Amino acid sequence: AKKTDSREAFIGGGGQLYAESILLCDKIYITRVKASPPGDAFFPEIPPDVLVMTHSRLVPADEKHAYAMDFQVWEKKKSVSV
């Protein structure tokens, strides 16, 4: 995004791509679905020494949403340079 007129760039994984790019991110938008479906690819742990959660909005399961979810925003700590 810094090399174009874009304010943000988005990464649409898989797990390996997320793992390789997580430390390059200044901000992460993530939806955590409160379910444990079978699978073999997962979002990596967000390093708390590098990023801090700045927003969280819980959405309960209801007639429109089979599972509860948490919309989160994580931002790089100002004092961190990677």
- CA separation for the pair 29, 63 (Å, rounded): 25
Q: What is the pLDDT of residue 3?
A: 73
Q: What is the CA radius of gyration of the chain?
A: 14
Element (H, E) at 74: strand 69-76
Q: What is the pLDDT of residue 76?
A: 95
Q: What is the pLDDT of residue 81?
A: 67
Q: What is the pLDDT of residue 82?
A: 61
Print pLDDT tens along the chain (82 aa): 667 778 888 888 888 999 999 999 999 999 999 999 898 888 999 999 999 999 999 999 999 999 999 999 999 998 766 6
The amino acid at residue 75 is E
Element (H, E) at 20: helix 15-21
pTM above 0.75, yes or no: yes
